[in-house]
Amino acid sequence: MRPLSIREGSLMVLAASLLVLSGCSHTGASDPYAHTSPPAVTAAVVKVTRRDLSNDFEIASEFIPYQEIDVHAKVSGYVNKLYVNWGTHVNQGQLMATLEVPELNDQVLRDEAAIQRDKQGVARAQEELSRAQSTYTVANLTYTRLYGVQKTQPGLVAQEEVDVAHGKDMETSAAVSAAKDALAAAQQQLAVDRAAMSKDQAMFDYARITAPFDGVVTQLYAYTGSLLPAGTSTSQNALALCHLAQNDLLRLVIPVPEAVVPSVHVGETVKVQVVPLDRIFKGKISLTSDQINLQTRTMHTEVEVPNPKYIIVPGMYAYVQLPIQSAVNALAVPIQAVESSNPEEGTALVVNRSNRVERHPIRLGIETATDVQVVSGLQEGDRVIFGDLTHYHAGERVKPEPVDLGSVGANE
């Protein structure tokens, strides 16, 4: 190995010096960042807002018409003309069908003839009474005059004439009484025949079958030419004209559990979700049995739902949401923003103005499926961390990122 030259030795000393200086320079450059904080982590946050909260009890039921009946004929007859069909909408009093009942028509004609005869009999009785009253007036006047002359001038008028006049007076008086009785009897007969006429006319009018209420013909049992028996028949299988249902107002019959009974009030508005239509309608609690069934431990409750446009069809499935608890304009946060220790207390992580985490104990109120009421511990507009709260600790600096709760709900 040959010895190094002076030039080569100088170069090696220079290279070593540069390496030493380079190491010193690297060490010196890292010192200013030795005490810098780690970068802030991203935290999803939501704001504390005010909203109306309601804790509902949901129960399923099926729509039924407000009322429905089989329309029967009041008199027996054959269907002459039919004015309705399946699905026909009718108003109260609207003509639905007419029946052919010939015997009733003949009976009405006989009643009219009897009334005319009775009217003539009454007229004759009135004339007979007038004639009898006139005869009685003359006889009574004659007797009164003869009797007066006999009293003032005895012997001027024979007693026989006075007795004859008196007898005539009594006879005509009796004739007046008989004429009055005959007139009364004729008038009573007229009243009887008029009553029979009214009855037969009413029965004849029953040959026109009209709608008892506004509704829809959901089934048609008889057609033109069908024989409809009278609705007063004791037969349970008597043929009806049709089935009529009132569908512009529907009912939901729901068995309310005993625990929910105290929260049910007649007249209260409730939400009704109609599953086939995927829509929510407003209903009203119309009545309750006000008694708990001891076998099922439920209370019979009915909810009325207006259906003026016939959008809902009876038989459709629906969910009734009965409000058990409610709060208006209450402070609320999503459930995912609260770490609850018990039903009334919990903890929320608030991001302050310096973007650092603060742990706030809070008191809780009504809890819904998505939100919880904040009774105390937070203020409107506070930013709270949304999601898994175990990843954060008090004093930690974070980078807040607002969460769109609408998109979160859609994704879920």
Same domain, 130 and 182: yes
Same domain, 114 and 175: yes
Whole-angstrom Cα distance, residue 285 to residue 267? 5
Whole-angstrom Cα distance, residue 222 to residue 219? 10
Confidence of residue 155 (pLDDT cuts 50, 70, 90): confident
- Bigger pLDDT: 369 or 262? 262
Mean pLDDT of 258-272: 91
Same domain, 114 and 174: yes
At residue 237, does pLDDT exceed 90? no
Report yes or no on 2 lying in a domain: no
Angle (CA) 235-239-245 rounded to 5° is: 115
Residue 352: give its domain's CATH number.
2.40.420.20
Same domain, 226 and 187: no
Q: In this structure, what is the dihedral angle of CA atoms 281, 287, 292, 298, given to the nearest 10 degrees?
A: -10
Mean pLDDT of 382-406: 89
pLDDT at site 234:
53
pLDDT at site 369:
81
Domain count, the chain: 4
Confidence of residue 116 (pLDDT cuts 50, 70, 90): very high
Same domain, 348 and 219: no
Q: Which of 291, 326, 361 is the last residue of a domain?
A: 326
Residue 94: give its domain's CATH number.
2.40.50.100
Residue 321: give its domain's CATH number.
2.40.30.170
pLDDT at site 350:
95
Same domain, 389 and 266: no
Same domain, 302 and 267: yes
Same domain, 140 and 277: no
Report yes or no on 6 lying in a domain: no
Q: Which of 307, 326, 345 is the last residue of a domain?
A: 326
Whole-angstrom Cα distance, residue 147 to residue 156? 11
pLDDT at site 362:
94
- DSSP output for 163-221: HHHHHHHHHHHHHHHHHHHHHHHHHHHHHHHHHHHHHHHHHHHTTEEE-SSSEEEEEE-
Lowest mean pLDDT among 23-32, 68-77, 203-212: 23-32
pLDDT at site 259:
85
Percent of the chain with pLDDT over 90: 61
pLDDT at site 273:
95
pLDDT at site 24:
41
Same domain, 335 and 388: yes
Report yes or no on 14 lying in a domain: no
At residue 382, does pLDDT exceed 50? yes
Same domain, 279 and 222: no
At residue 13, does pLDDT exceed 80? no
Residues 6+ apart with CB under 8 A from 252: 61, 62, 63, 64, 272, 283, 302, 303, 305, 318, 320
Whole-angstrom Cα distance, residue 16 to residue 3? 19
At residue 111, does pLDDT exceed 70? yes
Instruction: Look up the domain containing 389 and give its range.
Output: 43-54+327-411
At residue 36, does pLDDT exceed 80? no
- DSSP output for 375-404: EES--TT-EEE-S-GGG--TT-BEEEEE--
Q: Which of 259, 293, 326 is the last residue of a domain?
A: 326
Report yes or no on 229 lying in a domain: yes
Burial tier of 259 (Cβ tally within 10 Å: 0-12, 13-18, 19+): exposed
Whole-angstrom Cα distance, residue 3 to residue 192? 162
Whole-angstrom Cα distance, residue 265 to residue 309? 27
At residue 7, does pLDDT exceed 60? no
Phi-psi region of 260 (alpha: psi -120 to 50; beta: other; left: phi over 0): alpha
At residue 331, does pLDDT exceed 90? yes
Whole-angstrom Cα distance, residue 28 to residue 183? 142
Report yes or no on 17 lying in a domain: no
Same domain, 156 and 274: no
Same domain, 211 and 91: yes
Report yes or no on 138 lying in a domain: yes
Percent of the chain with pLDDT over 70: 88
Report yes or no on 114 lying in a domain: yes
Report yes or no on 164 lying in a domain: yes
Mean pLDDT of 145-167: 83
At residue 310, does pLDDT exceed 80? yes
- Does residue 45 contact residue 385 with C-beta atoms inside 8 Å? yes
At residue 9, does pLDDT exceed 50? no
